[in-house]
Structure 1
Amino acid sequence: MVDRRAQYRAELRRFDPARWPDFLREHSGLPGPRASIALAEAVADEGDPASFDRLISTDDEYLVFCGVLGLGRLLATATDARTRAAVEARLRDHATDARWRVREAVALALQRLGDADLPRLLALATAWAARPHPLLRRAAVAGVCEPRLLTAPDAAARAVALCERATRGLADLSAEQRRADGVRALRQALGYCWSVAVAADPAAGLPRFRALAAVDDRDVAWIVRENTKKNRLARLL
């Protein structure tokens, strides 16, 4: 099986990062149904702060995607509090970007942090979920609800708690507030994140998921329906 990420890493090392944008545009997979995540991961592996800044400063959504994902590596490897705070602030800003690929890059960046330091990710996601902005809550649940990060019961429990908090917060919004794109993006994320969190620890997660059925709210009902369609959850019900 070809390791595309490793191949891209080797290719990126062949030339100066200032020339990366042309290479990324050529190999992005766009226009098309899917952009290359393997290439973006390779950029995050091989780049430095200057190259990430260069990509983020463009108006090309895929290049920004790659640069923001690179911030995840900087956050995962930061050794001092000032650097961590600065990178966290940048990711927080990108989490509310109007472009969905940029928001997705934030979730992937958070998962990089989780691979390196799961307690830090859980603390950061909890802090973001406490804020009222729906896109910050979306980033929190999407960043944490990744199966490889939820093998420990305490991590799975935190993921369920984040999903529950975000869902309750959505249910508290007025009909007018729910028309915002950010709210729709949060609802879509909750439409699969619950299944990931519950599947990681069914004994603790299932009762809290089932409790959503008693909530008289159209969006919550939609979230329940979407998650029950996921095989990882359907086989537990």
Structure 2
Amino acid sequence: MSKRYGYFSQIEPLLLNQSSREIEQLLLNNSNLPGPRSNLELVYAFADHFRSNDLVTYKWELLQRFLNFGLDSDPHNSPAEFLPICALVALGTFYIKAESSIQKQIVSILWDFANNSNWRLREAVAMSFQCIEEQDFDLIPPLFNQRINDVSLLEMRAIIAALAHPPVLKVEPNSVFCLLISDIFLSKVVTLDVSKRKTEEFRVLRKGLEYSLSVFVASLPAKGFAFLSKWVMVNDTDIKKILKSNLGKSRLTKKYEQQVNEVLSMLK
């Protein structure tokens, strides 16, 4: 029996019996926090319940309480941040089944947490979007396209991290969409002034772009390397750093050495 299923078998009866305090303690006690890695198996086990069950009033209120748990203090690297992580991923798992009014609320919550100062909560937002992608990727382009015009730097990072998810990139149109979004985001980077580029938000975005592009290129190499060849001609220090980082990723260097070297030769 997998760890994830083992946790699920403990969580399921508690949720069905509306045992809020027991659920809360189970999650907190097994969060692995403080520590370098939260218990992702437990996060997904909690979310698994919402994949196959309706979001009755009790469960919606439970998720709302979890989302606000510990946020009036500093929950960084403490068990207090684990409950909102679980709730965020659960919202993504349930999204496809939700009524349109609930879907709007879920999306609003996800964008709000995408701008949170806590990196684990931001990561949970990306994981939540990935749960939606895995069930129906066609729901993703409208969600992200609606945000593009007024997107913040941290929201851009959430989008790019959510899309850099290999299981959903086996379908060509999905990878094409990822390259289109990447093109838009790099265009936005070019327009940023020096003060914006010195912010923590930009550092986080750039770090996301420094690996995600290679994921998209690896999934669709012909179009992907054409995309890189286009951007390598842009004279922008941050763009060059982003491209160089991606071209150094083993997912590209091991399989596409010639193409990588060709783009690198243009980058110098």
Uncovered stretches (5+) of structure 1, i.e. residues with no partner? none
Q: Which residue of 1 aligns with 2:240?
A: 221
In 2, are the aligned partners of 1:122 and 1:144 still within 8 Å (CA)?
no
- TM-score, structure 1 as length reference: 0.93
Q: Does 1:100 align with 2:119?
A: yes
Q: Which residue of 2 aligns with 1:46?
A: 49
Q: Which residue of 1 aligns with 2:151?
A: 132
Map Cα deviations across residues 106-165 of structure 1 (whole Å, 9 max, x no partner). 111001111111111122123333323111111111112211111111110100111121
- Whose radius of gyration is greater, 1 or 2? 2
Q: Which residue of 1 aligns with 2:97?
A: 77
* Superposed CA RMSD: 1.6
Q: Which residue of 2 aligns with 1:174?
A: 193
Of 7, 18, 21, the residue aligned with 2:21 is 18
The residue matched to 2:245 in structure 1 has which SS? helix
Taking the TM superposition and a 5 Å limit, the aligned residue runs for 1:197-212 are: 197-212=216-231
The residue matched to 1:77 in structure 2 has which SS? coil
Uncovered stretches (5+) of structure 2, i.e. residues with no partner? 51-58, 71-79, 261-268
Alpha-carbon separation, structure 1, partners of 2:193 and 2:129: 30
Number of aligned positions between the proteins: 235
Matched letter for residue 31 of structure 1: P
In 2, are the aligned partners of 1:107 and 1:140 still within 8 Å (CA)?
yes
Matched letter for residue 61 of structure 2: A
The residue matched to 1:58 in structure 2 has which SS? coil
- TM-score, structure 2 as length reference: 0.83
Alpha-carbon separation, structure 2, partners of 1:68 and 1:105: 6
CA drift at 1:57: 1.4
| Identity %, equivalent residues | 26
CA drift at 1:36: 1.2
Q: Which moved more, 1:188-197 or 1:82-91?
A: 82-91
Q: Which residue of 1 aligns with 2:7?
A: 8
Alpha-carbon separation, structure 1, partners of 2:93 and 2:69: 20
Alpha-carbon separation, structure 2, partners of 1:24 and 1:46: 14
